[in-house]
Each structure stands twice: as C-alpha cells, then as structure tokens.
Amino acid sequence: MDANANQQQLDRLLALFHPSAQSLGRCTLVKSEEMPASYRPLLDHQEHMTVAVEAFHESLVSVQVLATHITPTHYAREILLRRQTDQVVVQYGIMRVSLGCLNPEVRGEIESQRRPLGRILVRHNVLRTIHVHGLWRVEPAAELCRHFGLDRPQTTYGRTAGIDLDGTPSVEVLEIVTPL
C-alpha cells in the first residue's frame, strides 16, 4: 500500500469516531527501522494484536468498547484493550468489519462486545490473513493521553492493517499501543 492509500485508510477509520484525524493525535507514517526496537515485536508482524499484546505483557487482555458505529453492511468499534492482571490500558484501537463475511455465530460474538476481535477469530478458527498496511509514529492529543493515563503526550506507535477472512478482505484496523 502506498503512503496516500495508508493515509486514506487511517483517515477513514478515524472519521468513524473522531471529528478530525488530529483530534486523536498526529500520526506520521514510518518504516519499521524508524521505530524503536521495543515496538517492533508489538506492531511489525502478521499476527493478531491481541496475541502480540498478551505475549508482550504476559497477561490476557479484556476489551472495553468506547463506541460503536453500525450500518447495514459494517460493524465498527472504538476500543481499549486492558491487561486482566491490573486493568492497565495497553492498546487503543478501531476496527471495522464487513458483516457479510461473518457467519452468524462469529457476528453475534463480535456484536456482544465481550471479547477482542483477534480472540474471537482464533476461537472460531476463522481462516484469516493479516496484512500490515502502515506503521505510524503517534503524538497523542488530549483524548488519547487520557485513555493511556498520560499526564503529558509521549510518543508511541501504531499500525493500520487489513484482515482477510476466508480469503476475502473483510476487516480494517487501527491499533496504537500505550507508550512503552
């Protein structure tokens, strides 16, 4: 994906829940080698962020849904992932899934808002392929600082990605990790 397409994907996801991209923070497209090494195992891989974050933090995570946006064809949610050990926020995210690509059981579990998307797809053994589209340096604005429990902005990193379900592009995600 080229830089323009990456920016469009980011803007499209942010527009679901934010009046402007800058209301969440300033996001700059970066290459993997431009990120601190500590962020690479969390973001630069073809796995679900749920799996990567749980391994990194040595704790299962729970999902807190902040908002949803539902149309006849798509379900989107803005979320925080929290470590189950101490309820600390470890990730902010937005996901948007095409409802036509889900069987009723998987759709129902996603809409129940009780589990992270990655865990649901793994649990139901849905054939999935994850494509990292862009890696982002993020300078958080006030709202993201509040979600992360920051007194002042601290640079962090995130990614935009797509997930193919059973070979069909079906999910778009923005995933930003809490500063390390």
Do the beta carbons of residue 166 and residue 2 sit within 8 Å?
no
Residue range 25-39, pLDDT digits in tens: 999 999 999 999 999
Instruction: Name the pTM for this structure.
Output: 0.96
Q: List Cα–Cα distances, 83 to 90, 148, 149, 159, in angstroms.
A: 7, 12, 14, 20
Topology, domain 3-177:
Chorismate lyase (3.40.1410)
Domain boundaries, the chain: 3-177
Distance, C-alpha 103 to centroid of its chain: 22
Residue range 130-166, pLDDT digits in tens: 999 999 999 999 999 999 999 999 999 999 999 999 8
Tokens matching residue 36: 């601190």
Tokens matching residue 59: 């704790």
